[in-house]
């Protein structure tokens, strides 16, 4: 089995983005299905779970501490206060409802639009009930806000007036002391009188200041009260079922597509199933000599695919005729394709004499096939010894997990691997190459089934020691003075189905 050198291993990227993109694209059924499922689920949610009747109203809230650079703290505080049992209870009392405030709080929410605009959204059993609830809730909030403003202003004014009264009492005592007057012969009493006059002037100034501040506190309250009002009356929100279904379907489509792509990418990384030509060739130690699609193509490509199959059949037939050893086809993930290729090859060899196809497949692809006139003889592996030694035989087997490796040599000592891209893991492809080398089965090449049409990598191995045993008289092919690794060139280059991009060039 071929092993990479240290320089090649160190140069290999940790994650091959090209292989990842190809693997995700090949699993388009998964992410397209999830995207479609998300789209249908979103539309179903809009139909089966329609939005309840909703009403909205907008309240202009005036704050004493309003600042142009306020980041929205005050309006968020108002929205939080809206979701309290006190305001919910006041709204329910105005509606005459017996509902618990805690239950009512789950049916509405407040959203700050700007620093002073609060939108209230309320749901109900009907549009009329939702509108009535929104009106009651907005009025309760405005009343509570005005009450808090007045209480704060009254408390501040009361504190200022209380402080003013204390200073008036002190001023009365100072005036009383000044009225007694000092004696003319006492210089110390004269100095004390001057300090009393200074104190009286200070107290008079501070009393005037407290009077002014108390008046401003009372005068600012009406402005705040008038600025807090309902600016947008409660109204029902129109719900359009087609629009809601389209919106939910779009959201479901995007989420399903994202989930599908993520699952496909993770699955591709975890599974580590090579899909590119260069990866499959490197892991098997044999070059890709032909490519065939797995699924039926459109009418415009059937002719090219038929021509590719014919070229592959002619090339394999020439190889079998020029080989003194029996040749087999070993499949991995494409038993039906390998059976078809084997029957075509046997039909091409039928002109030279009797040909028998030895069925070594574990499935019924050949065993339960209805023979048609002119078809080659198909025998099971147990009856292979009864095949006439004068005729040719083409063995068909499998290298899937569970293969009896020692039986593969009886199908043919030279083989063509028929591998479906993305079917086997890198570890299993290494196992296949190692087991075939241990059984001294020469790998002629690899026929790639269901390749990626946008794959531009090279599936030909060059440079380095060959990995499969060769006949003693066989000389390795050379190209530009370098030895080809693990494979020999077929007498006629096999077919590769061109895609639209290649045809355009």
Same domain? For 187 and 330 the reply is: no
Same domain? For 205 and 163 the reply is: yes
Percent of residues, the chain, with pLDDT higher than 90? 30
CA nearest to 495, candidates 449, 434, 462, 454? 449
Q: Has residue 378 been placed in a domain? A: yes
Number of domains observed in the structure of the chain: 3
Enter the pTM of the model: 0.60
* Least confident range of 183-192, 268-277, 398-407, 490-499: 490-499
Q: How high is the pLDDT of residue 117?
A: 93
Residue 416 structure tokens: 């063509």
398 near 360, Cβ under 8 Å? Answer: yes
Same domain? For 310 and 338 the reply is: yes
* Least confident range of 67-81, 98-112, 356-370: 356-370
Same domain? For 188 and 67 the reply is: yes
Among 183, 217, 238, which residue terminates a domain? Answer: 238
Reply yes or no on whether the pLDDT at 44 is more than 90: yes
Q: Residue 419 CA to chain centroid, in angstroms?
A: 31
Q: How high is the pLDDT of residue 367?
A: 66
Reply yes or no on whether the pLDDT at 464 is more than 70: no
Q: What is the mean pLDDT of the chain?
A: 81
Same domain? For 255 and 329 the reply is: no
Same domain? For 280 and 261 the reply is: no
Q: How high is the pLDDT of residue 482?
A: 36
210 near 161, Cβ under 8 Å? Answer: yes
455 near 276, Cβ under 8 Å? Answer: yes
Q: How high is the pLDDT of residue 38?
A: 95
Same domain? For 190 and 249 the reply is: no
Reply yes or no on whether the pLDDT at 490 is more than 50: no
Q: Has residue 15 been placed in a domain? A: no
Three-state secondary-structure class, residue 72: coil
Q: Cβ neighbours of residue 134 under 8 Å, at least 6 residues apart?
A: 55, 56, 57, 108, 120, 121, 122, 234
More confident residue, 125 or 489: 125
Q: How high is the pLDDT of residue 134?
A: 95
What number of other Cβ atoms are within 10 A of residue 394's Cβ?
24
The kind and range of the H/E element at 89 are helix 85-95
More confident residue, 262 or 226: 262
* CA gap 174, 183 in Å, rounded: 17
Q: Cα dist. 131→57, 120, 123, 423 in Å?
A: 9, 11, 8, 62
Reply yes or no on whether the pLDDT at 399 is more than 80: yes
Same domain? For 207 and 312 the reply is: no
Reply yes or no on whether the pLDDT at 140 is more than 60: yes
Same domain? For 39 and 106 the reply is: no
> What value does the mean pLDDT take over residues 80-93?
94
Q: What CATH number should be reported for the domain holding residue 411?
A: 3.40.50
* CA gap 431, 427 in Å, rounded: 6
Q: How high is the pLDDT of residue 481?
A: 36
* CA gap 164, 154 in Å, rounded: 15
Tens-place pLDDT, residues 144-185: 999 988 888 888 888 888 888 888 888 888 887 777 655 555
Tokens 């209870």 -> residue: 89
Reply yes or no on whether the pLDDT at 350 is more than 50: yes
408 near 439, Cβ under 8 Å? Answer: yes
Among 250, 269, 288, which residue terminates a domain? Answer: 269
Residue 479 structure tokens: 């190209």
> What value does the mean pLDDT take over residues 123-131?
92
β-bridge mates for residue 331, sequence order: 398, 418
Same domain? For 258 and 227 the reply is: no
Measured in Å, how far apart are the chain's first and last C-alpha atoms? 38
More confident residue, 224 or 432: 432
More confident residue, 216 or 419: 419
Reply yes or no on whether the pLDDT at 385 is more than 70: no
Task: Name the residue range of residue 174's domain.
Answer: 54-238
* CA gap 92, 135 in Å, rounded: 11
Same domain? For 327 and 349 the reply is: yes
Residue 273 structure tokens: 């199933």
């Amino acid at each position: 089995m071929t092993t990479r050198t240290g320089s090649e291993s160190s140069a290999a990227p940790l994650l091959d983005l090209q292989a990842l993109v190809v693997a995700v694209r090949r699993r388009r059924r998964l992410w397209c299905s999830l995207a479609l499922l998300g789209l249908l689920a979103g539309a179903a949610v809009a139909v089966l779970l329609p939005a309840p009747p909703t009403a909205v109203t907008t309240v202009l809230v005036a704050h004493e501490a309003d600042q142009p650079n306020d980041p929205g703290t005050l309006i968020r505080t108002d929205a939080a206060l809206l979701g309290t049992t006190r305001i919910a209870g006041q709204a329910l009392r105005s509606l005459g409802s017996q509902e618990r405030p805690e239950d009512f709080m789950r049916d509405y929410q407040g959203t700050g639009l700007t620093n002073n605009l609060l939108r209230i959204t309320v749901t109900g059993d009907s549009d009329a009930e939702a509108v009535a609830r929104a009106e009651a809730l907005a009025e309760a909030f405005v009343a509570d806000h005005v009450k808090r403003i007045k209480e704060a202003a009254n408390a501040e004014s009361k504190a200022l007036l209380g402080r003013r009264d204390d200073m008036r009492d002190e001023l009365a005592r100072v005036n009383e002391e000044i009225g007694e007057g000092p004696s003319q012969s006492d210089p110390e009493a004269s100095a004390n009188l001057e300090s009393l006059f200074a104190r009286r002037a200070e107290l008079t100034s501070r009393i005037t200041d407290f009077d002014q501040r108390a008046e401003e506190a009372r005068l600012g309250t009406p402005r705040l009260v008038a600025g807090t009002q309902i600016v947008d009356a409660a109204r029902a929100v129109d719900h359009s079922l087609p629009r809601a279904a389209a919106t939910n379907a779009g959201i479901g489509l995007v989420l399903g597509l994202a989930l599908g792509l993520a699952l496909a990418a993770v699955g591709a990384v975890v599974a580590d199933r090579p899909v590119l030509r260069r990866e499959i060739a490197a892991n098997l130690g044999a070059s890709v000599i032909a490519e065939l699609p797995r699924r039926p193509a459109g009418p415009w490509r059937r002719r090219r695919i038929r021509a590719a199959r014919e070229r592959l059949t002619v090339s394999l037939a020439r190889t079998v005729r020029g080989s003194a050893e029996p040749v087999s086809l070993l499949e991995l993930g494409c038993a039906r394709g390998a059976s078809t290729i084997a029957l075509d090859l046997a039909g091409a060899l039928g002109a030279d004499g009797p040909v028998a196809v030895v069925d070594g497949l574990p499935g019924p692809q050949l065993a339960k096939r209805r023979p048609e006139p002119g078809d080659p003889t198909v025998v099971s592996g147990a009856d292979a010894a009864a095949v006439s030694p004068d005729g040719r035989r083409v063995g068909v087997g499998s290298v899937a997990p569970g293969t009896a490796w020692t039986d593969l040599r009886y199908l043919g000592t030279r083989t063509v691997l028929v591998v479906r891209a993305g079917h086997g893991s890198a570890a299993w492809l290494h196992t296949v190459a190692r087991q075939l080398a241990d059984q001294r089965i020469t790998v002629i090449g690899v026929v790639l089934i269901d390749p990626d049409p946008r794959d531009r990598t090279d599936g030909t191995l060059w440079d380095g020691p060959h990995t499969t045993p060769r006949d003693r008289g066989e000389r390795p092919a050379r190209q530009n003075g370098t030895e080809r690794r693990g494979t020999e060139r077929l007498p006629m280059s096999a077919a590769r189905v061109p895609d639209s991009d290649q045809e355009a060039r």
